[in-house]
Structure 1
Amino acid sequence: MKLDILAFGAHPDDVELGCGATIAKEVANGKKVGIIDLTRGELGTRGTAETRDAESEQAAKILGVTVRDNMEFADGFFVNDKWHQIELIKMIRKYKPDVVLCNAIEDRHIDHGKGSKLVSDACFLSGLLKIDTKCDDYDGFQEPWRPNAVYHYIQWKNLEPNIVVDVSGFIQKKVEAVLAYKTQFYDPSSKEPETPISSKNFTDSIEYRARDMGRLINAEHGEGYTVERYPAVNSLFDLK
């Protein structure tokens, strides 16, 4: 199955929080988008891996993505080594995305930076002919495939974006997808321990951070990304 965009997150909810509005906009524009979670978030303080499974499925329906997979790597302990890279190469070659979105290059949670580098390295290696891969639902040798671009969404840390996507009109869809993770976010009746993302301030920050990012490009809402190589344009008039 050929996808236009493949978004990776170290944990279920990373993609929704980092680039949920971008995904909702691209789906509305007719693009085929997939999500791959590296782990089930089993070390999360609130909820369980099973509740995360159900919540991530609901969030995927809200965003309208074509497919969502989970690599079931070890939460907190996956590493950027050959085995993990090969497993991701299989998925990149399976879905052949033109654009890959992935975790922030550095962040509060150690898995975010690790996941970012792991996905980036796998995207490069996926283009090498002499890496021979086969996946369970693909018969025979997988052809090499390297995405045209890898963009890293911004998460907890306020990193300086290289590009900002105008997501005006799609922020409520993002919030709806994020709040599908009912066990993770603000619930005044919850008996679960408090975490940095369970406060009302954090939930409110989804919109006010998007407003601030939008301010940078004179739009209502925006989502920012850092890039690995300079974006190319045919004309200065392609830039807004």
Structure 2
Amino acid sequence: MVVAAHPDDAEFSFGATVARLTDEGTEVVYVVCTDGSLGGSNPRPSADDVSAVRYAEQRAAAAALGVHDVVFLGFRDGELTADVALRRAVTRQIRRWRPGIVLTHWPQRSLTFPIGASHPDHFAAGEAVLSAIYPDARNPRAYPDLLADGLEPHVVEEAWLPGLREPNHFVDVSRYADRKIEAILQHKSQFTEHSDPVASLGWVRDRMRHNGSYVGCDYAEAYVRIQTGSNAGAGPPPAPADSAAAHSLRW
């Protein structure tokens, strides 16, 4: 499961990884928290019209990566908070889809990455998702109405967050970098009319290339991988399987 704040966040943060997962037979579902109504630079369209366009673009981008199920929670763009309403909504989807791994935003503001990584909706979503993973989704006493709807508790085994700080897991996406760019380009409304969309995404490819340099491949996406399963916290974190250095862990 990928839980993103806005339409297009999943592609920018995780797109090549998603393409690899689906290509290898993993079922991936998107959960998009906001309505995307503040996206774009044109002030004239109504919020409903913008949302409709962005929802359609998100479905097209997901399909380009092999994702067939996209859930829109519909919270107001720009007003997301890690409150009980968002935690409950995410918990509902975790119990509904029962994922083994959840990919979501970094739950804090980054002072080292470009400021776009720290949109307030991003770290609100990240915190709410981690709170939904633990303790909400696994706790049978949390949100009893979900039990009444037949949504039993579920334990997520791992959470993967963008590697904004001390990444410990790198995914080799050398075969999927172009698919990521193609998926991002589905979000046509988010590019200015007179810009070259492909050229404007050069930084996306550069970041994947930089990540790949750590693990000896052409392109990679970097994560902080957190063990969240039943035995998480029962002992010291496992050492990377293929190196003594955490940054060299690779899939």
Give the TM-score band, short-chain normalised.
0.7 to 0.9
Secondary structure in 2 matching 1:85:
helix
> Residue 123 of structure 2 corresponds to which residue in structure 1?
113
Secondary structure in 2 matching 1:52:
helix
1:159 Cα deviation after fit: 3.8
**Using a 3 Å threshold, how does the CA distance of structure 1 residues 104 and 132 change in structure 2: closer, same or farther?**
closer
Instruction: State yes or no: 1:204 paired with 2:202.
Output: yes
The match for 1:88 among 76, 87, 90 is: 90
1:114 Cα deviation after fit: 0.9
1:49 Cα deviation after fit: 1.4
Give the aligned length.
Answer: 222
1:227 Cα deviation after fit: 3.2
The match for 2:20 among 25, 35, 39 is: 25
Identify unmatched segments of 5+ residues in structure 2.
43-49, 110-116, 228-235
> Residue 126 of structure 1 corresponds to which residue in structure 2?
137
| Distance in structure 2 (CA, Å) of the matches to 1:231 and 1:184 | 40
Contact 2:80 2:120 in 1 (8 A): no
Instruction: State yes or no: 1:188 paired with 2:191.
Output: no
**Using a 3 Å threshold, how does the CA distance of structure 1 residues 215 and 9 change in structure 2: closer, same or farther?**
same
The match for 1:179 among 185, 190, 201 is: 185
- Matched-pair identity in %: 28
The match for 2:72 among 67, 70, 73 is: 70
RMSD: 2.5
Instruction: State yes or no: 1:215 paired with 2:206.
Output: no
- Structure with more of its chain in helix, by fraction: 2
Instruction: State yes or no: 1:166 paired with 2:172.
Output: yes
| Distance in structure 2 (CA, Å) of the matches to 1:231 and 1:16 | 29
**What letter matches 1:171 in structure 2?**
A
Contact 2:81 2:124 in 1 (8 A): yes
| Distance in structure 2 (CA, Å) of the matches to 1:231 and 1:147 | 17
| Distance in structure 2 (CA, Å) of the matches to 1:116 and 1:179 | 24
The match for 1:99 among 98, 101, 106 is: 101
1:175 Cα deviation after fit: 0.4
